[in-house]
Structure 1
Amino acid sequence: MSRSGRSSRPLFRRTWWTAFIGFFLLCAGWALAAPYDASPDEAQHIIRAAGVARGEFAPKPEAAGGGTGAYQHIPVSLVRDNCWAFHPDKSAACAKAPGGDEHVEKVATRAGRYNPVFYAVVGWPLALWPNWLGVTLARLISAGLVSALLACAAHSMVAWTRHRIAAAGVLAAVTPITAHLAGSVNPNGVEIAAGLALIAALIPTMLEPEQPLRRAAMVQIGIAGSVLMTVRALGPLWCAAIIGIMLVPATRERLRALLRFRPTWWAAAALFVTGAAGALWTVVMKASELAPVGAPPELTLAQGLRHEVIVRWPNYFTELIGVPSWLDTYLPNTAYDAWYLALGSLILPAFAFGRWSDRWRLFLFFIVPFGVISLSDAIGAHKYGFGAQGRYLLPVAIGVPVLAAYLLGRRDVLDRARSARLVRTIAVVVLPLQLAFLAYTMIRWQAGVGTSLTYTPLNPLAGTWHPPAGSATALLTAVAGCVVLGFWAWTSTGRRAEAARQERQASVSES
């Protein structure tokens, strides 16, 4: 086993750190480019984070801001009105930047009852510097958390499986909305990344019975699952769904091996404790409560479900790729079509050539999140309206392209050379799209995006508003991230990576 450890450590350093740096720079580009309150409800999350940083972990649940509202005592320098959200032709220049008067007041936030763990990690800069510096540092901490989880997923798929094409699944799964959320104060980004890290560790653990079980995989399952079940109210449900999809159907031999493997029980204990704690918090603090919006009372469940499938599902698909800012910035349809092509090049062949158990897993990774969100929305539509968004589905749905890429390698649909070419082709498609989404959203924030022939700005470095670090700094940071991720895609499918993978597999088999 020691020989295996020696051979795997250099591979870990190469794959994990390269992926981490690439993802972090990409997410940091979004963090540096965004105005205050740039993503849905970011200001509400900032207020919650600043309150937690001041020790207000469990404020009294009350009607404050609507839904899961509560009051937090925070510096008023962080309380700013948003004058541009939902107006894509209006720049952020009308808004007042955070900073200035730092006296503390009682402020309502819709995120006041959310689990405090995420906010405790990202919120401490807001207590020290309740201004642009604190907001930027909080965003960068969030970007670091997300990038660490994404790097774990990338390393799992490249180093713990024998299929180089698995790297394509990671590149296609991390859509621009994930990078956008990662670069803001919003627990949804961490939730999505934790779901991907959990799935990526379970794939080699459950689907490669000829390989020995790994302690590192169990550690990743325990950590990623615990994070997933902590940051948002649906986390325990999403974690149970992911584990259930990967466990059933599983071979009896693999299940017996898991039960005999002591780290499995440590991971299970961690998941049980954090899941119970997360669920208990949600129940006690009423952290899933919604605010009534006066929806039509005559709407039936059947009508709500029809509306979800016919009207809302197309929106969900678009939002899974990314509708940045406050769901008010749509890129040209060709950007979404190109990403769908990248996803389809993995998903359709995997479904066509996979076994029945493979097809069921792919289908369940799709239908479970869509079904849960659609049913929940339809049941409460008469009281709360249709409030779900595509990003809510991503912690589970993100498993579809990752599993599909793995299955293409597992079923030998392509030889090694063609697998490498497909990975690199997908990198060439999706990484420039990452930059296109950021650049277009920067134009929206800085100048507004027009729909007329006389007003269609296309320069992400111009406009009436600019981020404190500068537009060029933000964009170049993301460019650097995409270059590093491209390097990761090339090197993870190269001959040296393949030789290292084969050496590691031989070392593990001998030990």
Structure 2
Amino acid sequence: MSRSHTTGPATDDPAGTPARRARVVWSAVAALLVALGWCWSLATPMMSSPDEPSHVVRAAGVARGQVSLPTADALVDTAEPGVAGLVRLPSDYAASVTLPNCFAFQPDQPASCQQDLPEPGAPVDARTYAGQYPPLYYALVGWPSLLLPASGGLVAMRLVSALLTGLLVTWGLYRLHRVEGNRAGVWGAAVALTPMCFFLGATVNPAGFEISAAFAFWAACLAVVLGRGPVTTGALVQAVVAGALLVNTRSTGPVWALAIVVVALVAAPAGRWRDIVAHPRFRWLVAATAAASAVAVGWLVTHPAVVTTKDLHPGFADPRTVALSVVGKGSEYLLNMIGDYGWLDAPSPPVTFVAWYAMAGAVLLLAFAAARPTRRRVALLLLVLGVAGAPLALQVPTAVDTGLIWQGRYALPVAVGVPLLAALVVGVDRRPEGELLRRVARGALPVVLVGHVAAFYWASRRYAEGLEGDVLTFHPDWTSPIGYLTGTALYAAVVGALTWLAWRSYRPVDDTPAAPGPASAAARRSTSDAATAAAAAEPAPATTD
């Protein structure tokens, strides 16, 4: 029986006001996260995301029904990452692939050199190196190219991508907020969602969508296995939907999804797996998972080669050489996970890197020192080792063919789980050290705020003036649609609002025991507006299961 059946009409329900507050709060969170992505979409020039020309061509092609592509001539040297797919597009979209040529890999060159796009013309062949990627993401973001010329369509595709990723991140945050007896999820999310996550999600690049889908999947899996209450239908459905999006976005998606499930099962307390299997909708959810996985595997089997070079890097024939080279790039991979924008030519300033090193290091040290069940710490250790070892495991077998193509951002779908799990291991609850941990969680938020704003400003400055240009100028060489300094101010306002909401979620909780009854229940609800609002937004486990 639902709550409304036991408490009377909605207007008399004591939970009615918190429920409305929850809808307002979570709508605000979603709007702010989408706005944060849109700031990135508009502040950086078109095609300034890694391989964005190939992804734009792929998206516009999928929107026109060109899903499995014919290929261009065979590859003959290392100048290209693989055999290109051919797409027939209007001439303005085909011409857009040249937009980054004048500034890519040139950090001192502002984007003012970028040429205007021509008027739409007859369809011509365009090349994409993303022709083997699963079509799901491209179908979701490519449809504006059917309605608009390239001058507006490129921007619209970016805005759609930022909208989707912002909503997925919101879904993940909501689920983390629902973990009973542990308010640490927001703390972990603040550290997990680096500026690079939002930058990628705000451009035409499936990596950003993959990261946000993985974030929502992580949140659901951790909520299922670490929650104190019954297994809820909402969490399981989120795990299935987010997992389906993850495995069907990029070729690495099934690997990351499997890794997330393994870590979650290791972290689960004894008996939790039996509770999951006993859920009345478990069989239907397993069937849906199997169907989504079959689609992903079917695409990979019929389109196995994302990079199709062959023996073009003989210097990497020795696995030891590859291993040493990969280890030597470890710090580069870490920097790329935090924020190295454009074509790896627009790194974040030192203050951003220091902020994330400090915050990630703090939550990890606290987690490994926490007096928590061993299973959770073992799962965290396994995850950290997996993230560190992924570049080795995935590059040693293929380096002779592809070279060392790994970038730190490739690991972000699984790496975002490190601070999430670490924060949930630490906890922010009513144990004796709970007040100290609550203060630490609050203290982390302003540091992350500064790191985000500094990263956005530095990336905006790179395209406005070049990295060797003036640190501050009111007359930049290139100006984005939202402006160079005004865009930074807008971004700071959006991140500041999100920080304030997160700050409020860590207000002290009254530990004073109260006698049972409606009055004491109302008092307990008033001790943490954010927590009770989130709880009221979803039915109680007893009514959904």
| TM-score, length basis structure 1 | 0.91
Partner of 1:58: 68
Q: 1:172 to 1:462 in 2, by over 3 A?
A: farther
**How many Å separate the matches in 1 of 2:269 and 2:284?**
22
State whether residues 423 and 489 of structure 1, in contact with CA within 8 Å, keep that contact through their aligned partners in structure 2.
no
- The structural deviation recorded for 1:369 is 3.4
Q: 1:307 to 1:500 in 2, by over 3 A?
A: closer
Find 1:408's aligned residue among 426, 432, 455. Answer: 426
- The structural deviation recorded for 1:103 is 2.5
Find 1:136's aligned residue among 130, 152, 155. Answer: 155
State whether residues 68 and 113 of structure 1, in contact with CA within 8 Å, keep that contact through their aligned partners in structure 2.
no
What whole-Å deviation, never above 9, does each CA across 1:337-359 have from its counterpart, x for those lacking one?
12110111211111111432122
State whether residues 28 and 143 of structure 1, in contact with CA within 8 Å, keep that contact through their aligned partners in structure 2.
yes
Partner of 1:493: 506
What whole-Å deviation, never above 9, does each CA across 1:313-348 have from its counterpart, x for those lacking one?
111111111111111122333320121101112111
Find 1:186's aligned residue among 205, 208, 221. Answer: 205
The code of the aligned residue for 1:475 comes to T
- The structural deviation recorded for 1:59 is 1.6
**How many Å separate the matches in 1 of 2:265 and 2:277?**
13
Partner of 1:100: 119
State whether residues 115 and 232 of structure 1, in contact with CA within 8 Å, keep that contact through their aligned partners in structure 2.
yes
Partner of 2:464: 446
Find 2:108's aligned residue among 77, 86, 89. Answer: 89
**How many Å separate the matches in 2 of 1:290 and 1:436?**
39
Q: Which consecutive segments of 4 or more residues in structure 1 shift more than 4 A?
A: 4-12, 61-66, 410-416, 502-505, 507-511
What whole-Å deviation, never above 9, does each CA across 1:143-191 have from its counterpart, x for those lacking one?
1111111111111112333222321111111000011101100010010
The code of the aligned residue for 2:2 comes to S
- The structural deviation recorded for 1:19 is 2.4
State whether residues 81 and 402 of structure 2, in contact with CA within 8 Å, keep that contact through their aligned partners in structure 1.
no
The code of the aligned residue for 2:89 comes to I
The code of the aligned residue for 2:367 comes to A
State whether residues 316 and 403 of structure 2, in contact with CA within 8 Å, keep that contact through their aligned partners in structure 1.
no
Any unmatched runs of 5+ in structure 2? 6-12, 75-79, 510-525
**How many Å separate the matches in 2 of 1:211 and 1:195?**
24
Partner of 1:339: 356
- The structural deviation recorded for 1:74 is 1.1
Q: Is structure 2 residue 170 aligned with structure 1 residue 151?
A: yes
The code of the aligned residue for 1:409 comes to G
Partner of 1:453: none
What whole-Å deviation, never above 9, does each CA across 1:420-445 have from its counterpart, x for those lacking one?
43232222111221111111111111
**How many Å separate the matches in 2 of 1:54 and 1:374?**
38
Q: 1:61 to 1:122 in 2, by over 3 A?
A: same
Find 1:261's aligned residue among 235, 257, 279. Answer: 279
Deviating more after overlay: 138-147 vs 411-420: 411-420
Partner of 1:116: 135
State whether residues 247 and 257 of structure 2, in contact with CA within 8 Å, keep that contact through their aligned partners in structure 1.
yes
Aligned pair count?
Answer: 504
**How many Å separate the matches in 2 of 1:490 and 1:298?**
49
Find 2:28's aligned residue among 12, 15, 18. Answer: 18
Q: Percent identity?
A: 30
Q: 1:358 to 1:4 in 2, by over 3 A?
A: farther
Q: 1:90 to 1:509 in 2, by over 3 A?
A: closer
The code of the aligned residue for 2:352 comes to A
**How many Å separate the matches in 1 of 2:207 and 2:120?**
30
RMSD, aligned α-carbons: 2.7
Q: Is structure 2 residue 56 aligned with structure 1 residue 37?
A: no
Q: Is structure 2 residue 496 aligned with structure 1 residue 483?
A: yes
Q: Secondary structure at the match of 1:262?
A: coil
Q: Secondary structure at the match of 2:142?
A: helix
Partner of 1:389: 407
Q: Secondary structure at the match of 2:246?
A: helix
What whole-Å deviation, never above 9, does each CA across 1:379-416 have from its counterpart, x for those lacking one?
22222211000000010111010111111117867745
- The structural deviation recorded for 1:372 is 3.0
The code of the aligned residue for 1:69 comes to A
Q: Is structure 2 residue 365 aligned with structure 1 residue 348?
A: yes
Q: 1:315 to 1:231 in 2, by over 3 A?
A: same
Find 2:479's aligned residue among 466, 470, 478. Answer: 466
Partner of 2:9: none
**How many Å separate the matches in 1 of 2:187 and 2:473?**
29
Deviating more after overlay: 165-174 vs 65-74: 65-74
**How many Å separate the matches in 2 of 1:324 and 1:398?**
18
Partner of 1:234: 252
State whether residues 15 and 155 of structure 1, in contact with CA within 8 Å, keep that contact through their aligned partners in structure 2.
no
Q: Secondary structure at the match of 1:490?
A: helix
State whether residues 194 and 339 of structure 2, in contact with CA within 8 Å, keep that contact through their aligned partners in structure 1.
yes
**How many Å separate the matches in 2 of 1:123 and 1:44?**
12
Q: Secondary structure at the match of 1:77?
A: helix
Find 2:82's aligned residue among 67, 92, 111. Answer: 67
**How many Å separate the matches in 2 of 1:298 and 1:141?**
40
**How many Å separate the matches in 1 of 2:229 and 2:473?**
48
Any unmatched runs of 5+ in structure 1? 451-455
The code of the aligned residue for 1:76 comes to S
State whether residues 282 and 288 of structure 1, in contact with CA within 8 Å, keep that contact through their aligned partners in structure 2.
no
State whether residues 281 and 287 of structure 1, in contact with CA within 8 Å, keep that contact through their aligned partners in structure 2.
no
State whether residues 36 and 97 of structure 1, in contact with CA within 8 Å, keep that contact through their aligned partners in structure 2.
no
Q: 1:359 to 1:62 in 2, by over 3 A?
A: farther
**How many Å separate the matches in 1 of 2:432 and 2:352?**
27
What whole-Å deviation, never above 9, does each CA across 1:229-255 have from its counterpart, x for those lacking one?
011001011101101111135345221
Find 1:317's aligned residue among 328, 334, 342. Answer: 334
**How many Å separate the matches in 1 of 2:70 and 2:281?**
39
Deviating more after overlay: 317-326 vs 252-261: 252-261
State whether residues 181 and 189 of structure 1, in contact with CA within 8 Å, keep that contact through their aligned partners in structure 2.
yes
Partner of 2:92: 77
Matches within 5 A, 1:295-314: 295-297=313-315, 299-309=317-327, 311-314=328-331
| TM-score, length basis structure 2 | 0.86
Q: 1:169 to 1:468 in 2, by over 3 A?
A: same
Find 1:327's aligned residue among 344, 348, 354. Answer: 344
